[in-house]
Amino acid sequence: MPDPMRVLMIGAGGVGDAAARIAVERDFFEAWVVADHDRGRAERTVAAARERRTGEQRFSVAQVDAADAAAVTALAREVRATHVLNAVDPRFVMPIFAGALAADADYLDMAMSLSVRHPEAPYEKVGVKLGDEQFARASEWEAAGRLALVGMGVEPGLSDVFARFAADELFDHIEELGTRDGANLVIRDDDGNEVFAPGFSMWTIIEECLNPPVVWERERGGGDLESGFFTLPPFSEPEVFDFPEGIGPVECVHVEHEEVLLMPRWVEADRVTFKYGLGEEMIGMLQTLHKLGLDSTEPVSVKGVEVSPRDVVAACLPDPATIGPRMEGKTCAGVLVTGTGKDGAPRSTYLYHVVDNADSMRDYGAQCVVWQTAINPVVALELLARGTWSGTGVLGPEALPARPFLDLLAAPRPEGYGSPWGMEERS
Range with the lowest mean pLDDT among 8-17, 176-185, 271-280?
A: 271-280
Rounded average pLDDT over 89-117: 97
d(CA 300, CA 398): 41
Cis peptide, bond prior to residue 320, ω within 30 of zero: no
Specify whether the CB–CB gap between 138 and 230 falls below 8 A: no
Specify whether the CB–CB gap between 376 and 212 falls below 8 A: no
286 confidence band (pLDDT: 50, 70, 90): confident
d(CA 156, CA 257): 7
d(CA 393, CA 146): 6
Specify whether the CB–CB gap between 367 and 320 falls below 8 A: yes
d(CA 266, CA 398): 6
pLDDT in tens, 392-412: 999 999 999 999 999 999 999
d(CA 405, CA 376): 9
pLDDT of residue 200: 67
Measured in whole angstroms, how far is the alpha carbon of residue 9 from the centre of its chain? 15
Specify whether the CB–CB gap between 21 and 366 falls below 8 A: yes
Please state which CATH number belongs to domain 158-364.
3.30.360.10
pLDDT of residue 80: 98
pLDDT in tens, 8-20: 999 999 999 999 9
- Within 10 angstroms of residue 380's Cβ, the number of other Cβ atoms is 26
Selection from 8, 13, 69 nearest residue 203 by Cα:
13
pLDDT of residue 427: 83
Tell whether the model's pLDDT for residue 264 goes beyond 80.
yes
Measured in whole angstroms, how far is the alpha carbon of residue 350 from the centre of its chain? 19
pLDDT in tens, 334-380: 999 999 999 999 999 999 999 999 999 999 999 999 999 999 999 99
Q: Pick from 94-98, 198-202, 220-224 the range whose average pLDDT is largest.
A: 94-98
d(CA 77, CA 326): 40
Tell whether the model's pLDDT for residue 45 goes beyond 80.
yes
User: Helical H runs in 136-213?
Assistant: 138-144, 158-165, 202-210
Rounded average pLDDT over 58-74: 98
> Which letter, b or e, does each residue of 334-356 get, where b requires 16 or more Cβ atoms within 10 Å of its Cβ?
bbbbbbebeeeeebbbbbbbbbe
Task: Count how many Cα atoms sit within 13 Å of the Cα of residue 271 in the half-sphere of its side chain.
Answer: 10
How is the chain split into domains, by residue range? Answer: 5-123+130-154+369-425, 158-364
Give the CATH H-level superfamily of domain 5-123+130-154+369-425: NAD(P)-binding Rossmann-like Domain (3.40.50.720)
Q: Pick from 48-57, 272-281, 319-328 the range whose average pLDDT is largest.
A: 48-57
pLDDT of residue 250: 92
Selection from 155, 209, 172 nearest residue 398 by Cα:
155
305-307/300-302 β-pairing: antiparallel
Report the length, in residues, of the chain. 427
Q: What is the DSSP string of 16-69?
A: HHHHHHHHTT--SEEEEEEEESSHHHHHHHHHHHHHTSTT--SEEEEE--TT-H
Tell whether the model's pLDDT for residue 316 goes beyond 90.
no
Report the DSSP beta bridge partners of residue 153.
Answer: 157
Ranges assigned E (strand) in 192-261:
194-195, 214-217, 229-231, 239-243, 248-254
1 confidence band (pLDDT: 50, 70, 90): low
83-86/106-109 β-pairing: parallel
281 confidence band (pLDDT: 50, 70, 90): confident
Selection from 382, 327, 394 nearest residue 93 by Cα:
394
Tell whether the model's pLDDT for residue 193 goes beyond 90.
no
229-231/214-217 β-pairing: antiparallel
285 confidence band (pLDDT: 50, 70, 90): confident
> Between 280 and 216, whose confidence is greater?
216
- State residue 31 phi and psi, 5-degree precision: -155, 145
Tell whether the model's pLDDT for residue 413 goes beyond 90.
yes
Query: CA geometry: angle at 319 spanning 59 and 292, to 5°?
Result: 140
For the chain, the farthest-separated pair of C-alpha atoms sits apart, in whole angstroms, at 68
pLDDT of residue 223: 81
60 confidence band (pLDDT: 50, 70, 90): very high
d(CA 11, CA 115): 22
- State residue 218 phi and psi, 5-degree precision: -60, -40
d(CA 381, CA 83): 8
